[in-house]
Chain A
Amino acid sequence: MSASLIEMRGITKSFGAVKANEGVDLSVAPGEILGLLGENGAGKTTLMNVLFGAYAPDAGEILVEGRPVAIHNSADALAAGIGMVHQHFHLAPRLTVLENLLIGIAGKSGRIDRARGLARLTEISRQYGLSLDPNLPVSALSVGEQQRLEIIKALFRGAKLLILDEPTAVLAPSEVDGLFAALRSMAAQGLGIIFISHKLNEVRALTHRCVVLRHGKVAGRVDHPAGTTSAEMATLMCGHEIVPPVKEASTPGASVLTLDGISTSGHAGTPLRDVSLFVRAGEILGIAGVSGNGQRALADVISGMLPPRSGTMTIAGKKVAQFSPRELQALGLGRIPEDRMTTGLVTNLPLVDSMVLPRIGTEAFSRKGLLNPAAIRAFAEAQIEAYDIRCPGPMVRAGALSGGNLQKALLARELAFDPKVLIVSQPTRGLDIGAARFIHEKFLAMRAKGCGIIVIGEDLEELLMLSDRIAVMYEGRIAGTLPSADATVARLGLMMTGAGHTGEAA
């Protein structure tokens, strides 16, 4: 075996009854990009948190450049040359870029050494082509820039191994290319990189070698990712073949949701400007666009969280009067928000509460103003069963579930009441292909039952696969709508930049 930079041997870690990692072996050589794959909940993040000293393993050892090291906390990991970019960023939004970089770094004669920090920042930006304004507060950075800051932070501390936990899940497709260029340049200069992603084409394009986890154990290794197909990798991950869902032809019915000349104001993010669109029963409308072009406002208007300044909205022929979430729910709207942690579920409460939250006052779950715990529990248990939500039971804290399982729980909750219209944002962000496939199938099944679905997303391939028509948003307007038969990634990409204004409502 060639001299490895990092080696993990027999790592085991349990959370209560859950064995998140079991006897995992893994190594990375200098200059190597290792892909770490696995379904949601397979234990990838846990394994990396063990390597980074955030979790203490129950068994196993870690070797850095051949020598065993004891890593008890992140300080030890940093000292050993291990840096990590977490799935959820670890930054303080109100502090500046430079302050976030200098945290935990000893100063000069008791003071923060700004000058040296700035010099080091310039050096890193020259070496790897990563630059940032040091004096901006982190809250002013885009998500892509925050991620760059996290990478710089690790390099700043002299990381020889960089762990990236699903770095591309939060990036727009154009930003991914920039990230990959930086990662390749780091590897070329001798850094080791561990890259976690659910997007298998990315893994095949970037990594030199892959380790696949399943239920906490190593399920397989791939030595030439570029020479393997995504289907083969998926089979390794899930233990069975993943077949793409079939989209059957359907003839859409009458319009179930119509927006006419909707404009908004007073909203964080881009406001809507004169947006008109419709979805018919049994139809999926994709909304493409670089994030930040009004998708947030669109989703908020449709789900009743943002009353528009002008324009009208009709659901199944009824004009929306109040724009409250409750009214829209009563009219038959289901909603799966972009951020499952903040507007989707209540992470600190038992899962069962979140599963019934939007309909807590309805007859199904309460009688004469009192909750009906038996009905609530029965409902939650039935959904957990039907959607194969992996969790210890309905009483578990919602925040303890893995991303894929949270998304399934949200989906179960919204679909249980046969919505006429469903609005979803980024439905499969962060989900493994098995879970994504499951969700796609559910959407297509709802479509077959006559539900009108709006899917807001950045993943063009997913939109093309699901949608009947695709509308592109640009600067708060609908830049054009195409039947998906006419749409290609290239054509959509062009429309997303505001160029090539094509098509009327098709």
Chain B
Amino acid sequence: MSAVFEQIFQVGFLAAIIRIATPLAFATLGEMFSERAGVLNLGIEGIMLLSAMAGFTAASLSGSLWLGVLVAVLVGALMGALHALFTVALGLSQHVCGIGVTLFCSGLAYFLYRLIFGQQSVPPSIGGFKPVPIPLLADIPILGPAVFNQFTLVYLAIIAVPLAAFVLYRTPWGLSVRMVGENPRAADSAGVSVIATRFQAVILGGALMGLAGAFLTMAQFNAFTFGVVSGRGWVAIALVVFGRWDPWRSAGAALLFAFVDALQLRMQASGLGHIPYEAFLMLPFIFTIVAMAIMSRNAVAPSALLKPFRREER
């Protein structure tokens, strides 16, 4: 048994957690910004897929990975704007429009991918991002190779968490976002444009979802497949609740999920072969459900979540 344990908790384990957590952290922060402004974005799964595809395509056609990232972010932002157009400007149902955006983005991703790359037996791949060790820090035992010998996008995710907290809690714009998510009428009567603020938050959220997609196809898998997102978007929605709409807690939730996921991968690979691997695959999701059930009992969603704002209505 201890041999199994050793195999699971080897040096690469921590690094794996960080890598698995990165796209989740981007996506969770993105969804959190949107929801803090009062807009549930169920388009997340599709937005991640389309951005992953667009970023991959741009990178493989141009040869520039960073151009790929840029395209993914722009596509994410654009789809965020599309969702905002329906739900914020037109005040349509956030559930219906979100699912619509996911279906639209997924369909578009499949279609464009087939159009550009055709049907190939082995999916084309690119040489993705390489880990960039940070001098000195990378030499710290255990922590060094795991945290400071990572892709640049991972560092970006690590910076994104405190940055998101700063923006949300310390800037006037962040205050406006929180206010339009709590009581849009209060924001409106204080001279803040509810529509503009919500648009901005949903677009920023979309851009972050785009980054998550970019990470999947350009750092993690270095190829695009139709299952590349495989529910990470839905998980992010759960993690936002789990993280109680707070950047730090949301990032913590992403790490915890990544821990369980990494654990289950190791357990699959280890000697516990008599258990069907599907059982392990379920683990992170069971974890999410249980954690949600416990945590969401006293989590309070932004009061105006799901509620469109129309000024002359009472």
Contacts and interface: CB of A to CB of B under 8 A. Distances in A.
Contact of A104 (B170, B182, B192, B311): B192
A58 B243 CA distance: 47
Contacts of A90: 183, 185-186, 188-190
Interface in A29-88: 52, 54-56, 73-75, 77-79, 84, 86
Contacts of B178: 92, 95, 99
Contacts of B171: 107, 110-112
A92 B192 CA distance: 14
Contact of B182 (A78, A89, A95): A95
A103 B186 contact: yes
Interface string A112-129: 100000000000000000
B191 A94 contact: no
B172 A112 contact: yes
A103 B179 contact: yes
B194 to A, nearest CB: 10
**Chain A interface residue number, banded:** 35 or more
B310 to A, nearest CB: 11
A55 B186 contact: no
A100 B178 CA distance: 10
A74 B186 CA distance: 10
B187 interface: yes
B193 interface: yes
Interface in A486-502: none
Contacts of B303: 92-94
Given A103-B175, A103-B179, A111-B171, A55 B312 contact: yes
Contacts of B312: 15, 54-56
Contacts of A89: 186
Contacts of A246: none
B122 interface: no
A91 B188 contact: no
Contact of B189 (A56, A84, A105, A106): A84
Contact of A103 (B190, B193, B300, B311): B190
Nearest to A347: B314
B188 to A, nearest CB: 6
Interface in B154-207: 170-172, 174-176, 178-179, 182-183, 185-193
Contact of A52 (B174, B175, B189, B192): B189
A396 to B, nearest CB: 13
Given A94-B182, A94-B300, A103 B188 contact: no
A105 B171 CA distance: 10
Contacts of A52: 189
A74 B191 contact: yes
A104 B185 CA distance: 13
Contacts of B185: 90
**Chain B interface residue number, banded:** 20 to 34
B56 to A, nearest CB: 34
A424 interface: no
B314 A104 contact: no
Interface string B5-22: 000000000000000000
A195 B105 CA distance: 53
A5 interface: no
Given A54-B311, A73-B188, A73-B191, A93 B182 contact: yes
A140 to B, nearest CB: 15
A252 interface: no
Interface string B274-313: 0000000000000000000000000010010000000110
A375 interface: no
Given A92-B179, A112-B171, A74 B189 contact: yes
Contact of B191 (A56, A100, A104, A107): A104
A92 B183 contact: yes
A193 interface: no
A374 to B, nearest CB: 31
Contacts of B192: 75, 103-104
A155 interface: no
Best-buried of B170, B174, B191 by chain A (most CB within 10 Å): B191
Nearest to A400: B314
A354 B190 CA distance: 34
Contact of A91 (B174, B175, B183, B311): B183
20 contacts: A54-B188, A54-B311, A55-B311, A73-B193, A74-B189, A75-B193, A86-B189, A90-B185, A91-B183, A92-B178, A92-B182, A95-B179, A99-B175, A103-B190, A104-B192, A106-B172, A112-B170, A112-B171, A153-B190, A157-B190
Interface of A: 15, 52, 54-56, 73-75, 77-79, 84, 86, 89-95, 99-100, 102-107, 110-112, 153, 157, 399-400
The 8 closest A-B pairs by CB, nearest first: A75-B191, A92-B182, A90-B186, A104-B190, A104-B192, A92-B183, A107-B172, A104-B191
Interface of B: 170-172, 174-176, 178-179, 182-183, 185-193, 300, 303, 311-312, 314
Given A92-B183, A94-B300, A107-B171, 17 more contacts: A73-B191, A75-B193, A78-B191, A90-B185, A91-B183, A92-B182, A92-B187, A93-B303, A94-B182, A99-B175, A104-B187, A106-B172, A107-B172, A111-B172, A112-B170, A112-B172, A400-B314
